């Protein structure tokens, strides 16, 4: 069986049902959390999985065992109102899920603006498994991203423009995208500080 056929079967029979169950579980765990705009999960699309699985590093494929090594076959995203809400949500998540990786992705230089997000690789909970989808058929982990509304909106538009464009972006276009990242960063911090001020004066 080809990798594409194998992943297609896994996608429909295992990953999509698990993603639905995981979303329900996350909604339950975070039902009392404030200022969450949305909680979504997805099984990684077939085309995107194959593109990632067939990536090369030098003269070798990056993944010797894509089905066993690619960690975001199931992905979850939690979108919050404010920057300060990210930590509050992350703290709740970590009371229920066991992490193997946690990182805050930010531009390397203080003078740069670009993608920002809190990322986790978490063990898939046993609660989403059953007699039909057992542990040996399911991925061991899933990826969780926690972002603000502005971080989410910017990253979605940037992905669409930067990765799906018919031709490479020009220097001017990249500069304009970086400018919008700076605006999103500024909006996030202004709204967060305004929120903190309104709490103090309430």
Among candidates 73, 156, 78, which has minimal Cα distance to 115?
Answer: 156
Task: Kindly state the average pLDDT of the residues 28-35.
Answer: 97
Tokens describing residue 49? 């999985």
pTM above 0.85, yes or no: yes
- The Cα 65–Cα 1 span in angstroms is 14
Q: What is the mean pLDDT of residues 83-111?
A: 94
* Mean pLDDT (the chain, rounded): 94
Between 106 and 108, the higher pLDDT residue = 106
Lookup: tokens for 12 = 């429909």
Q: Which two tokens mark 40?
A: 């979504």
Please, what CATH class does the domain formed by 3-201 belong to? alpha beta
């Amino acid at each position: 069986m080809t990798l594409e056929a194998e992943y297609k079967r896994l996608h429909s029979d295992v990953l999509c049902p698990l993603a639905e169950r995981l979303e329900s579980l996350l909604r339950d765990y975070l039902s009392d959390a404030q200022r969450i705009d949305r909680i979504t999960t997805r099984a990684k699309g077939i085309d995107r999985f194959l593109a990632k699985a067939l990536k090369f590093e030098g003269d070798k494929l990056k993944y010797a065992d894509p089905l066993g090594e690619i960690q975001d076959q199931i992905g979850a995203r939690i979108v919050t109102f404010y920057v300060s809400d990210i930590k509050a949500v992350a703290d709740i998540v970590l009371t229920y899920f066991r992490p193997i990786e946690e990182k805050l992705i930010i531009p390397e230089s203080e003078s740069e603006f670009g993608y920002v997000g809190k990322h986790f690789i978490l063990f898939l909970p046993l609660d989403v498994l059953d007699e039909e989808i057992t542990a040996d058929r399911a991925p061991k982990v899933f990826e969780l991203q926690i972002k603000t509304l502005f971080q989410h909106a910017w990253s979605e538009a940037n992905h669409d423009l930067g990765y799906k464009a018919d031709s490479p972006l020009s220097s001017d276009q990249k500069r304009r995208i970086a400018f919008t990242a700076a605006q999103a960063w500024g909006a996030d911090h202004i709204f967060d500080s305004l929120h903190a001020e309104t709490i103090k004066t309430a």
